[in-house]
């Protein structure tokens, strides 16, 4: 079986957009001949053609955006180690930014916001990461898992900036939400930022809550040791 040829990024970016070319020709032809079309009584059919062109164009840009997103995601996956050069993360962010800028109507552009935010975070560009995460929050609507993960990511950004109160404000409701599938990590992070804020009693309270709520957690020994240290 012949091996499927992988599309290189340069080829993807330089490739002429044949769908746009065809759609623009169709649109221009209808505009030029609209009087004749109207006179012939088929203007409704022409509008239907335009509607279908728009529909298929939306599907088309989703495919194009996904192809570019995949290139960006491959770059991100190759960088997922602590020792990665900052320049590699800069390049990764640029790739996701291309998806956002070139295909803003696509589904992939929404996900690219969160990935670009993470790339900015890894470069210690926390304000930029916060802005991208906030924009992602505004796009996701009523999707609780995305919302909670994004709020945890924002808390991490504020923690790195030294704005501990902001991090606490984000983590407190997440740690109280029993239905939160990420509550385990939210409690661990909240206990840590309480310690950074010198709120030792609050940190101890959260650690005790974690121990009761997650007796099978792989983090349990570490959190128990922290609690013993704080109580000693």
CB 86 within 8 A of CB 79: no
Nearest to 154 by CA among 144, 163, 145: 163
- 32-81: pLDDT as tens digits: 655 555 554 444 444 444 444 444 445 656 788 888 888 888 888 888 77
Instruction: Return the structure tokens found at 135.
Output: 């924009």
Q: Which residues contact 232 (CB under 8 A, 6 or more apart)?
A: none
Is 102 domain-assigned? no
Backbone angles phi, psi at 197, to 5 degrees: -90, 10
Is 232 domain-assigned? yes
Specify the higher pLDDT residue, 9 or 99: 99
Is 179 domain-assigned? yes
Nearest to 166 by CA among 182, 154, 184: 154
Nearest to 195 by CA among 211, 206, 184, 186: 206
- Rg value, the chain, Cα: 25
The structural domain count of the chain equals: 1
In total, the chain counts a number of residues equal to 232
- 143-186: pLDDT as tens digits: 888 899 999 999 999 999 999 999 999 999 999 998 899 999 99
Average pLDDT, the chain: 80
CATH number, residue 185: 1.25.40.10
Is 181 domain-assigned? yes
Is 176 domain-assigned? yes
Domain interval for residue 201:
141-232
CB atoms within 10 A of CB 66: 16
- Write down the pLDDT at residue 1: 47
Alpha helices, DSSP H, located in the chain: 9-14, 18-32, 34-39, 43-78, 86-102, 107-122, 126-140, 144-161, 164-176, 183-196, 200-213, 220-231
- Write down the pLDDT at residue 51: 46
Q: 161-184 burial, b if ≥16 CB within 10 A, otherwise e? A: eeebebbbebbbebbeeeebebbb
What is the DSSP-derived secondary structure letter of residue 181? T
Is 83 domain-assigned? no
Is 226 domain-assigned? yes
Is 231 domain-assigned? yes
Instruction: Return the structure tokens found at 73.
Output: 């995601």
């Amino acid at each position: 079986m012949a091996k499927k040829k992988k599309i290189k990024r340069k080829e993807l970016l330089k490739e002429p957009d044949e769908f746009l070319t065809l759609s623009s020709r169709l649109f221009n032809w209808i505009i030029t001949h609209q009087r004749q079309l109207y006179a012939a009584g088929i203007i409704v059919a022409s509008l239907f053609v335009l509607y279908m062109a728009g529909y298929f164009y939306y599907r088309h840009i989703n495919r194009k955006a996904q192809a570019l997103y995949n290139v960006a995601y491959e770059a991100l996956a190759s960088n997922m180690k602590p020792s990665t050069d900052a320049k590699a993360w800069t390049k990764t962010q640029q790739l996701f930014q291309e998806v956002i800028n070139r295909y803003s109507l696509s589904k992939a552009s929404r996900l690219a916001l969160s990935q670009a935010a993470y790339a900015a975070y890894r470069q210690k560009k926390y304000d930029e990461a916060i802005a991208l995460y906030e924009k992602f929050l505004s796009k996701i609507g009523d999707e609780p898992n995305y919302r909670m993960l994004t709020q945890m990511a924002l808390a991490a950004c504020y923690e790195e900036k030294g704005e501990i109160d902001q991090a606490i404000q984000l983590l407190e409701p997440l740690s109280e939400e029993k239905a939160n599938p990420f509550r385990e990590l939210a409690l661990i992070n909240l206990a840590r930022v309480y310690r950074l804020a010198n709120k030792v009693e609050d940190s101890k309270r959260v650690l005790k809550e974690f121990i009761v709520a997650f007796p099978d957690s792989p983090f349990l020994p570490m959190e128990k040791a922290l609690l013993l240290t704080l109580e000693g």
